Structure 1
Amino acid sequence: MSAEKNNPLNELDHQPRNWLDKIIFKLGDAASIFYLFTVVITFYEIVMRYAFNAPTIWVHETATFVGGILFVLGGSYALATNRHVRIVLLYDSVLDRTQNFLNVFHHIMGLIFTASLIYASYYMAESAFYAPWGEPRLETSGSAWDPAFPAYTKLIILMVFVIMFFQFLFHLIQDLVGIRGRK
């Protein structure tokens, strides 16, 4: 193993691997501006509440919605940039061939996990968009403002899990082709 490969700060290891990863990488970088948005509206709420005694009814729910969506998108972004959680102490101490097999195992487990999450989140999203008797309706927060953020959040969660499923599939194919090419 080369010293460059074992360097934990090697940025080459954290580049998108395929067209889907590249799209997610670009969208993730663009979406990061929404963190600033949540800071700005939270600051606005603090000023309105404590300086003018005029609290808002929309800031808390909006900041929670935006932050939650960014958190969910973070999983796909981490996978696209190869910054997901792994036991680096063990992973970096094995040979390249063993790392390749660990990657394949990781991607297979990721496919099973995201398929399970797609199944569960589909029913969660369906119940957020349809009443139990089948009539279309959006689940709302139940607050004074009552936005449909819960319904939108559940739909985005489903969409992100579908995207992550394809990310795992593409990574698995790339790793299998890479292993076959080295034999």
Structure 2
Amino acid sequence: MPRAAIAFVRIVEAVNYRIGRIAMYLFLVLAGVLLWSVITKAFFRPALWTQEMAQFTMVGYFVLGGAYSLMLNAHVRMDLLYGHWSPRRRAVIDSMTVLALIFFLAVTLWGGVESTIYAFEVGERSRTVWRPYMAPIKIVICVGVLLMLLQSIAFLIRDIATLRGERI
């Protein structure tokens, strides 16, 4: 494999590893927001922002951790036949299916960027009582989708290397 391809795979996986490890702590932020929600509902006037902030935090946790779980092969996979195949046969099937994933993620990223640009142009806000700006969460979603797209391309490069009899 060309050195640039190997470097691309290593850089993408290093970035996804670090961001994934950081994103894991968003679960603690989520727990804190929900705890605050419970406390304010029980003892004070309920906070208007907690439900939506919990949703935004969960979206960040899920989307930013997506590439990390892809990298670790921690995603759900039907293993009826796949587990019994040789590494070469898996690479053939994976290299075909990852193309569909790359297409899906590219279209999703395109739509996400368009939506984020719109959110900046019009100052889009949520339709709730709290009315937070939507651009920050849309940026997080776009970054997460971009990381998954890059990880999918890294998978394709790994599969091509496997088909060539090489390891990355």
The answer as to whether partners of 2:24 and 2:65 remain within 8 angstroms in 1 is no
1:124 aligns with 2:109: no
> CA offset at residue 18 of structure 1?
2.5
The answer as to whether partners of 2:70 and 2:151 remain within 8 angstroms in 1 is yes
Partner residue of 1:161?
Answer: 145
- Aligned equivalents of 1:118, 1:40: Cα separation in 2: 30
Give the structure with higher Rg (CA): 1
Partner residue of 2:31?
Answer: 39
Give the RMSD, CA atoms, in angstroms: 1.9
Helix, strand or coil for the counterpart of 1:88?
coil
Unaligned runs of 5+ in 1: 1-16, 132-136
- Aligned equivalents of 2:66, 2:25: Cα separation in 1: 17
Q: Deviations over 1:71-106 (max 9, x none)?
A: 112321211212223211211022222111112112
The percent identity for this pair of structures is 27
- Aligned equivalents of 1:73, 1:61: Cα separation in 2: 18
Which residue type is aligned with residue 65 of structure 2?
A: G
- Aligned equivalents of 2:63, 2:147: Cα separation in 1: 12
Normalised by the length of structure 1, the TM-score is 0.77
Partner residue of 2:65?
Answer: 74
Partner residue of 2:6?
Answer: none
In the TM superposition, structure 1's runs of 4+ consecutive aligned residues that sit over 4 Å from their partners are none
> CA offset at residue 64 of structure 1?
1.3
The answer as to whether partners of 1:141 and 1:147 remain within 8 angstroms in 2 is yes
Higher relative contact order (Cα pairs below 8 Å, separated by 6+ residues): 2
The answer as to whether partners of 1:28 and 1:73 remain within 8 angstroms in 2 is yes
Unaligned runs of 5+ in 2: 1-8
* Cα pair distance change 1:86/1:71, threshold 3 Å: same
- Aligned equivalents of 2:19, 2:12: Cα separation in 1: 11
Which residue type is aligned with residue 66 of structure 1?
A: T
1:58 aligns with 2:49: yes
Which residue type is aligned with residue 32 of structure 2?
A: V
1:48 aligns with 2:75: no
Normalised by the length of structure 2, the TM-score is 0.83
> CA offset at residue 31 of structure 1?
2.0
- Aligned equivalents of 2:109, 2:40: Cα separation in 1: 41
> CA offset at residue 33 of structure 1?
1.6
> CA offset at residue 172 of structure 1?
0.9
Which residue type is aligned with residue 20 of structure 1?
A: V
The alignment covers a number of residue pairs equal to 158
Aligned match for 1:84, one of 75, 95, 110: 75
- Aligned equivalents of 1:59, 1:100: Cα separation in 2: 45
Which residue type is aligned with residue 93 of structure 1?
A: H
- Aligned equivalents of 1:23, 1:68: Cα separation in 2: 19
- Aligned equivalents of 1:28, 1:74: Cα separation in 2: 5
